Amino acid sequence: MLVFVAIALAGVFFLVVSAFLGGDHDIASHEVSFEHGWDHGADHGADAGGGPSPYSLRVIAIFLTAAGSIGAICRYYDLSYLLSACLGVIGGFVIGALGWQILCLFYRQQGSSTVTDEDLLKSNLAEVKTAIPASGVGQICVVVKGQRKYLSARSQDGTPIEEGASVKIMGCPGGDAVIVQKI
């Protein structure tokens, strides 16, 4: 029974450590941004929406805590070591999977105010604040995720666009520059 208690206590220890030290490294997808305006959004996780990995420290700690606790309870009721270990592992997987699903639920509830290129492309309208000359650069204003963003812009076909005109963002080649088309 002492072995199972030790496994359970190790799991509790790692749960407490991850609670105090955080665990943003447990996220299955990541986005890397560089200061020069280049953006590389890569989704390398099994879950398309990101979230904690099933192999994250928290999920493994939940598994250890459950497996050790169930094994110790089984030994308390005089079940054999083999049966206690098997029931502990099975219970650990079940409770670990439930814990992972709960962590994923919490992660999906989070919001982000970061404006991505996709958000800009999905925006309906933007307004030209500084006229865009032929084959030149002007400025537009767009509201995305409740934020007013001022971006450098150029015309998609190289024609001038006057101040106050409504435009649609057609491309985001990098940084704060966008390609627009007059509506």
Q: What is the pLDDT of residues 31-90, one digit of tens each?
A: 444 444 444 444 443 334 568 899 999 999 999 999 999 999 999 999 999 999 999 999
32 DSSP β-pair partners: 40
Report pTM.
0.56
Which residue ranges make up each domain of the chain? 2-108, 117-182
Name the nearest CA neighbour of 23 among 54, 47, 58: 58
- 107 neighbors 52 (Cβ within 8 angstroms): yes
CA distance 113 to 133: 32
31-35, 100-104, 109-113: which has the highest mean pLDDT?
100-104
CA angle 58, 63, 65 (to 5 degrees): 90
Per-residue confidence (pLDDT) for residue 176, from 0 to 100: 67
Q: Which residues touch 42 (CB under 8 Å, ≥6 apart)? A: 29, 30, 31, 32
Residue 17 has pLDDT above 70, yes or no: yes
Please tell us whether the domain made up of 117-182 is placed in CATH 1.20.810.10.
no
